[in-house]
Amino acid sequence: MLRVENISKSFGDKKVLDNITFEVEKGDIAVVLGPSGVGKTTLIRCLSSLETIDSGRIEITERSREEEHPVGLVFQNFNLFPHLSAMENVAYPLQKVKRLSKEESEAKAKELLDSLGLEGLEGNYEFQLSGGQRQRVAIARALAMDPEYLCFDEPTSALDSELRDSVGETLKEIAKRGTGVIVITHDQVFARSHATKLYELGTELKRVR
């Protein structure tokens, strides 16, 4: 379980998160719904250790070593390396972070890309991929790090509306792997269609389902 207890975060005099508490279990698709400017992105950046919290606690019960923080993040704009192929985008972090050999990293990258419907596109670069394909490369790169929980920043914002359900099905497949999924979005239709836990973030975070 990922347990967030009373976390707060400010930037200067502006308090962005104020005593936020919630829980996510493996296999959940927990969606935090809210308009722009309420701190949704700051929340998942805190969960994935890209921001430090001012107070409160983030506890991950599956953490095997204290230095590990098994929460991945798929950025809204995907942040792929444009000079690397789809295969290299996934394999390179495995070589640098997990110290896998080139052969091992490429085998794992191909397995993940194939599982996300990208078979045959391993050699394509970012400019040769559609928005949905770029997103799936970013998901494969995040999954390659074996996170216990995976956060998504507005996963439907850069995609055509007809791809909304495809994204939802991808998240369900990730949850079936035993990964906890945390999504922030302002897309109410997507949130209400695919969340197993639904929260709304405004001046406070409240669970609505």
CATH number at residue 191: 3.40.50.300
**Is 13 within the bounds of a domain?**
yes
168 in the same domain as 66? yes
Q: Which residues of the chain have pLDDT under 70?
A: 62-69, 158-161
32 in the same domain as 120? no
52 in the same domain as 89? no
141 in the same domain as 157? no
35 in the same domain as 121? no
152 in the same domain as 65? yes
**Is 89 within the bounds of a domain?**
yes
Q: Domain ends where: 146, 168, 195? A: 146
Note the pLDDT tens digit of each residue in 22-66. Answer: 999 999 999 999 998 899 999 999 999 999 999 999 998 765 554
**Residue 98 φ then ψ, to 5°:** -95, 0
120 in the same domain as 109? yes
Q: Domain ends where: 117, 146, 175? A: 146
**Is 101 within the bounds of a domain?**
yes
**Is 76 within the bounds of a domain?**
no
207 in the same domain as 114? no
Helix-helix angle 164-176:131-143, to 10 degrees: 10
Per-residue pLDDT at 69: 58
Show the tokens assigned to 65.
Answer: 């070593």
pTM exceeds 0.75, yes or no:
yes
112 in the same domain as 89? yes
Per-residue pLDDT at 60: 86
156 in the same domain as 141? no
Per-residue pLDDT at 67: 46
What domain range is 173 assigned to? Answer: 1-70+148-209
Per-residue pLDDT at 16: 94
158 in the same domain as 142? no
**Is 93 within the bounds of a domain?**
yes
**Is 115 within the bounds of a domain?**
yes
∠ Cα 120 121 127 (to 5°): 160
Note the pLDDT tens digit of each residue in 182-191. Answer: 999 999 989 9
86 in the same domain as 44? no
**Is 86 within the bounds of a domain?**
yes
For the chain, what is the domain count? Answer: 2
Q: Domain ends where: 94, 115, 146? A: 146
**Is 2 within the bounds of a domain?**
yes
